Structure 1
Amino acid sequence: MTNYFDYKIITSSLIKAVRTLTGKPCIEANGTGEQPEYPFATFTITSPKIAIQQDDNNAQFEITVSLTWHDESTLSVLNLAKQCESFFKSTEGRKIFAEKGVVIVDVTDFDRRDNFISIEYERTAGFDIMMRVLDPHVDNVAGIEQIKFDGGKN
Structure 2
Amino acid sequence: MSNDFDYTVVTRALIKAIKDGTGYQLIEANSPGEQPEYPFCTFTITSPSIQIERYYEGALFEMVVSLTWHGTSSVGVLNLAKKSESYLRSDAGRKTLADNGIALVDITGISSRDNFISIDYERTIGFDVRLLAKDTFTDDSVDTIESFKVNYYGG
Asked if 1 retains the 8 angstrom alpha-carbon contact of 2:67 and 2:128, the reply is yes
Asked if 2 retains the 8 angstrom alpha-carbon contact of 1:4 and 1:135, the reply is yes
1:91 match: 91
2:34 match: 34
Distance 1:77 1:86, change over 3 A: same
* Distance in structure 2 (CA, Å) of the matches to 1:131 and 1:125: 20
**Are positions 1:124 and 2:124 aligned together?**
yes
The structure where strand makes up a greater share of residues is 2
* Distance in structure 2 (CA, Å) of the matches to 1:56 and 1:31: 36
How well do the aligned residues superpose, as a CA RMSD in angstroms? Answer: 1.8
**Are positions 1:65 and 2:69 aligned together?**
no
Asked if 1 retains the 8 angstrom alpha-carbon contact of 2:17 and 2:87, the reply is no
1:152 match: none
User: Structure 2: which 5+ residue stretches go unaligned?
Assistant: 149-155
Asked if 2 retains the 8 angstrom alpha-carbon contact of 1:59 and 1:136, the reply is yes
2:144 match: 143
Larger RCO, structure (CA 8 Å, separation 6 or more)? 2
* Distance in structure 1 (CA, Å) of the matches to 2:109 and 2:89: 10
Instruction: State percent identity of aligned pairs.
Output: 53
Which moves more between the two structures, 65-74 or 133-142? 133-142
* Distance in structure 1 (CA, Å) of the matches to 2:136 and 2:41: 30
TM-score by length of 2: 0.87
SS in 2 for 1:33: coil
* Distance in structure 2 (CA, Å) of the matches to 1:109 and 1:29: 20
TM-score by length of 1: 0.88
Alignment of 1:13-52 (within 5 A): 13-52=13-52
User: Structure 1: which 5+ residue stretches go unaligned?
Assistant: 148-154
Runs (4 or more) in structure 1 with deviation over 4 Å come to 144-147
Asked if 2 retains the 8 angstrom alpha-carbon contact of 1:85 and 1:107, the reply is yes
Distance 1:118 1:138, change over 3 A: same
